[in-house]
Amino acid sequence: MPLEKYQYISDVWREGIFDNKVVFCTGGAGTICSAQVRAMVHLGANACIIGRNVEKTEKMARDIATARKGAKVLGLGAVDVRKTEALVAAAERCVKELGGIDFVIAGAAGNFLAPIDQLSTNALKSVMDIDVLGSYNTVKATLPYLAESAAKHLTDGKTRPKNGTGGRIIFVSATLHYAGTPLQSHVSIAKAGVDAMSVAIAIEQGPKGITSNVIAPGPIADTEGVARLSKVEGRDKSMKSIPSQRFGTVKEIADATIYLFSDSGNYVNGETIVVDGGQWHTASVDKGSFSYPDFLLSGQSVTGVAGTKKAKL
């Protein structure tokens, strides 16, 4: 169903700044990535969202298209980001039907809660394959089109770009690995790899006009991550440990996306934009759901949340 504009984008952005541009997004049916894409579509872009679940991805594509009359949004389901050929085919279809790829959001991810001594090799590999390999495959499949877009939309920071911006990548990461997070070693390892990948791409592809940056969300309200990975009774206490004293919103992630993809982000390359209300700076504060270190020393299995996984050694 159509959303009110302020649910996914602030009023500060000028209408039409992404006219005739195309955004390609993996994990596009998720709560955060769909908001990022919806904001882009509202401001003129067309889009191609990628997911594994066909029905969910196609339904979300139709919903995102309501953000702007005449918008074209492709929902390509049954695409596994771990498979290079699947992403190559998706990128080719996107270009064929929408005319190119100007912006890429690598947002496909997997997560659950488990201490490292209960984490199997296969469980770690699964997260690494989705987050790191999936992000790598996304870039590899779209890089030729991004290079074309960057060449058409070079910016010097002095004059208004005649054709707008293009040739830009955003990786959706996390802050878990900055200070260390219990029960999240697997995701911390994966997201650290994603962050390093973004910097490498910025260095290597920057001379072609391509920019590569990371957005690292903190806890975002009404998302699958918060619903699956935290206990309801611990959320109020967790919120109090955030300097901003609240969870974030998907709109605030979308606004950071517009900043990086628009003329305002021309000279930002190889950087991480943290959108977490200052949460990671209070990493030593007990967050409430799983008391540190008592929970780890107890040897208990994680219970009470939907996102858990038992090791199969």
> What digits encode the pLDDT tens for the residues 151-182?
999 998 888 887 899 999 999 999 999 998 88
Asked whether the predicted pLDDT for residue 226 surpasses 90, the reply is no
Question: Which pLDDT band, with edges at 50, 70 and 90, does 286 fall under?
Answer: low
Terminal Cα distance for the chain, rounded: 44
What pLDDT score was predicted for residue 3? 78
- Active-site amino acid positions: 173, 191
What pLDDT score was predicted for residue 234? 65
Question: Which pLDDT band, with edges at 50, 70 and 90, does 222 fall under?
Answer: confident
What pLDDT score was predicted for residue 100? 98
Q: What is the mean pLDDT of residues 238-242?
A: 78
What pLDDT score was predicted for residue 123? 95
What proportion of the chain, given as a percentage, has pLDDT over 90? Answer: 70
> What digits encode the pLDDT tens for the residues 34-69?
999 999 999 999 999 999 999 999 999 999 999 999
Mean pLDDT of the chain: 91
Helix intervals (H) in the chain: 31-42, 54-64, 84-98, 121-128, 134-152, 176-179, 185-205, 224-229, 235-240, 250-261, 294-298
Going by C-alpha positions, the residue among 219, 223, 265 that lies closest to residue 242 is: 219
Asked whether the predicted pLDDT for residue 10 surpasses 60, the reply is yes
Does the CA dihedral 27-33-38-41 come out positive or negative? Answer: negative
Peptide bond preceding 293 in cis form (omega within 30 of 0): yes
**Token pair of 234 as six digits:** 């611990």
> What digits encode the pLDDT tens for the residues 177-209?
999 888 999 999 999 999 999 999 999 999 999
Q: Which stretches of the chain are assigned E, i.e. beta strand?
A: 22-26, 46-50, 73-76, 103-106, 168-172, 211-217, 272-275
Residues 6+ apart with CB under 8 A from 128: 186, 189, 190, 193
Q: Which domains does the chain have, with CATH numbers?
A: 5-225+248-283 (3.40.50.720)
> What digits encode the pLDDT tens for the residues 104-145?
999 999 889 999 999 999 999 999 999 999 999 999 999 999
Least reliable range by pLDDT among 38-47, 94-103, 242-251, 281-290: 281-290
Cβ–Cβ < 8 Å for 14, 66: no
DSSP secondary structure letter of residue 308? B
What pLDDT score was predicted for residue 20? 95
Q: Which stretches of 229-288 are assigned E, i.e. beta strand?
A: 272-275
d(CA 79, CA 81): 6
pTM of the model as a whole: 0.89
What pLDDT score was predicted for residue 221? 85
What pLDDT score was predicted for residue 282? 82
Least reliable range by pLDDT among 11-20, 197-206, 218-227, 284-293: 284-293
Decide which of 238 and 16 is more confident. Answer: 16
What pLDDT score was predicted for residue 40? 98
Cβ–Cβ < 8 Å for 114, 34: no
What pLDDT score was predicted for residue 27? 96
Q: Which stretches of 196-256 are assigned E, i.e. beta strand?
A: 211-217
Asked whether the predicted pLDDT for residue 235 surpasses 80, the reply is no
d(CA 129, CA 118): 19
Q: What is the mean pLDDT of residues 8-37?
A: 95
What pLDDT score was predicted for residue 305? 74
Question: Which pLDDT band, with edges at 50, 70 and 90, does 256 fall under?
Answer: very high
What pLDDT score was predicted for residue 260? 98
What pLDDT score was predicted for residue 281? 87
Question: Which pLDDT band, with edges at 50, 70 and 90, does 284 fall under?
Answer: low
